């Protein structure tokens, strides 16, 4: 018997994308960042399905381009010190003394513009990596693999994460409908009435339909647990998660007092895990067609994890490669290790099977 075509476990795609994002966070080298963007886009193009959320990558790309443009614009507006070639010598707007340290306009240096470009690419690469995860992973399948105790919070997170691709898809539908009506005279004029209102209405309709569908399939049932126990476990989980957040912040803040670091983190972790365990006791959950975390999923996740690990290693071994100089401007060169780290995400193409398209599914049925 032939195996049915399966999609890769959504958690694997998220691990892959987060790994690429971590790698992007380690560097400001524009070629490495473009490589990471290119790798994630390439994998999305090869491995995305034809579901609505799969078409959202271009919105993330546009968002990334906007980030780069805004960063560079602000370097021009708030000139500040720089060096190298003066590209345009704008007049500086004098500010009163209480705004000392803030420049308006002034000469635009090549180094400050380059810094803005690198900085913008840095953030844009992370945004595109997360966008790739959103295009590849089915958000509703992701919800299926959330542990039972985290179910309520998991639902909120998944709905929040999938809002943006849904909006992108709504926008596409509304504009397609406008084009089909061929109403060229009015389409440009009423942005609010012609675009924003239909998009929001569409999003609302869709979320209501999703809620009804989830309700009819038994999502969000609490079973036989008493309301008091539900309150207890819910409070434990939420307090635990807040503790983890505060503790994680303290871990990265060098000046946080010792008591706000590990103790809060560990206490929050323990509380959160206890809440999850307690709430999942006595709840019986059956899963229809569970997604196995199989070999392909491991391969996909390993690609992202390898990329992140190699890039973090490169921050120790070859730090100069990751932050190219802009004053004087030099070629953003790098060695073998960052190159391999940036390209490791391509492993996901090898590991994952071809995407399941609804058209091919109909053809085989």
The footprint of other proteins (CB under 8 A) covers: 28, 30-32, 34-35, 38-39, 41-42, 45-46, 50, 55, 58, 61-62, 64-65, 68-69, 75, 78, 80-85, 87, 97, 100-101, 110-115, 117-119, 122, 172, 175-176, 179, 254-255, 319-320, 323, 325-336, 339, 342-343, 357, 359
Find the helix packing angle between 151-181 and 227-252, rounded to 10°: 80
CB of 304 to other proteins, least distance (A): 17
CA distance 296 to 302: 10
Compare residues 150 and 357 and give the one whose CB is closer to other proteins. Answer: 357
Compare residues 158 and 311 and give the one whose CB is closer to other proteins. Answer: 311
CA distance 240 to 36: 34
Compare residues 212 and 320 and give the one whose CB is closer to other proteins. Answer: 320
CB of 37 to other proteins, least distance (A): 8
CB of 2 to other proteins, least distance (A): 22
CB of 49 to other proteins, least distance (A): 11
CA 75 to chain centre: 25
CB of 326 to other proteins, least distance (A): 7
CA distance 323 to 308: 16
CA distance 155 to 133: 17
CB of 272 to other proteins, least distance (A): 26
CB of 226 to other proteins, least distance (A): 43
Compare residues 176 and 222 and give the one whose CB is closer to other proteins. Answer: 176
Compare residues 90 and 339 and give the one whose CB is closer to other proteins. Answer: 339
Compare residues 88 and 209 and give the one whose CB is closer to other proteins. Answer: 88
CB of 116 to other proteins, least distance (A): 8
CB atoms within 10 A of CB 328: 10
Give, as one character, the DSSP assignment of residue 327.
T
What Rg, from alpha-carbon coordinates, does the chain have?
Answer: 24
Compare residues 209 and 358 and give the one whose CB is closer to other proteins. Answer: 358
CB of 19 to other proteins, least distance (A): 18
Closest listed residue to residue 121, CA positions, set 70, 173, 187, 77? 70
Using DSSP, state whether 175 is helix, strand or coil. Answer: helix
Position of tokens 């060096």? 83
Compare residues 286 and 362 and give the one whose CB is closer to other proteins. Answer: 362
Find the helix packing angle between 151-181 and 57-77, rounded to 10°: 90
* Angle at the Cα of 57 from the Cα atoms of 332 and 311, rounded to 5 degrees: 35
Compare residues 118 and 151 and give the one whose CB is closer to other proteins. Answer: 118
Tokens representing residue 163 in the block = 């809002």
Tokens representing residue 325 in the block = 């100089």
CA 297 to chain centre: 19
The answer to whether residues 84 and 111 touch, using CB atoms and an 8 Å cutoff, is yes
> What length is written for the chain?
365
CB within 8 A of 165, min separation 6: which ones? Answer: 52, 53, 55, 56, 59, 134, 135, 139
């Amino acid at each position: 018997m032939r195996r049915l075509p399966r999609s890769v476990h959504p958690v694997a795609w998220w691990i892959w994308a987060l790994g690429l994002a971590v790698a992007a966070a380690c560097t400001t080298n524009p070629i490495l960042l473009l490589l990471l963007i290119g790798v994630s886009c390439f994998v999305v193009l090869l491995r995305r399905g034809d579901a609505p959320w799969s078409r959202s990558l271009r919105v993330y790309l546009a968002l990334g381009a906007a980030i780069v443009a805004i960063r560079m614009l602000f370097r021009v507006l708030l000139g500040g010190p720089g060096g190298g070639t003066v590209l345009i010598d704008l007049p500086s707007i004098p500010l009163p003394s209480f705004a000392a340290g803030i420049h308006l306009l002034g000469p635009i240096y090549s180094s400050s513009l380059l810094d803005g470009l690198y900085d913008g690419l840095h953030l844009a690469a992370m945004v595109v990596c997360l966008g790739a995860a959103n295009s590849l992973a089915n958000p509703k399948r992701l919800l299926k693999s959330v542990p039972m105790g985290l179910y309520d919070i998991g639902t909120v997170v998944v709905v929040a994460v999938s809002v943006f691709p849904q909006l992108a898809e709504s926008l596409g539908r509304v504009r397609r409908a406008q084009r089909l009506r061929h109403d060229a005279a009015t389409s440009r004029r009423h942005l609010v009435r012609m675009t924003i209102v239909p998009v929001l209405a569409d999003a609302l309709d869709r979320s209501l339909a999703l809620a009804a569908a989830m309700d009819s399939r038994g999502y969000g049932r609490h079973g036989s647990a008493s309301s008091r126990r539900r309150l207890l476990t819910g409070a434990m989980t939420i307090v635990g998660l807040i503790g983890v957040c505060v503790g994680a912040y303290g871990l990265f803040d060098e000046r946080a007092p010792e008591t706000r670091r590990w103790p809060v983190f560990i206490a929050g972790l323990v509380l959160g895990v206890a809440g999850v365990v307690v709430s999942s006791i006595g709840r019986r959950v059956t899963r229809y067609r569970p997604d196995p975390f199989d070999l392909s999923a491991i391969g996909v996740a390993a690609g992202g994890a390898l990329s992140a690990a190699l890039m973090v290693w490169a921050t120790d071994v070859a730090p100069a490669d990751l932050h190219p100089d802009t004053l004087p401007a030099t070629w953003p060169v790098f060695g073998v290790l960052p190159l391999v780290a940036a390209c490791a995400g391509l492993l996901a193409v090898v590991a994952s099977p071809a995407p399941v398209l609804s058209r091919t599914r109909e053809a085989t049925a």
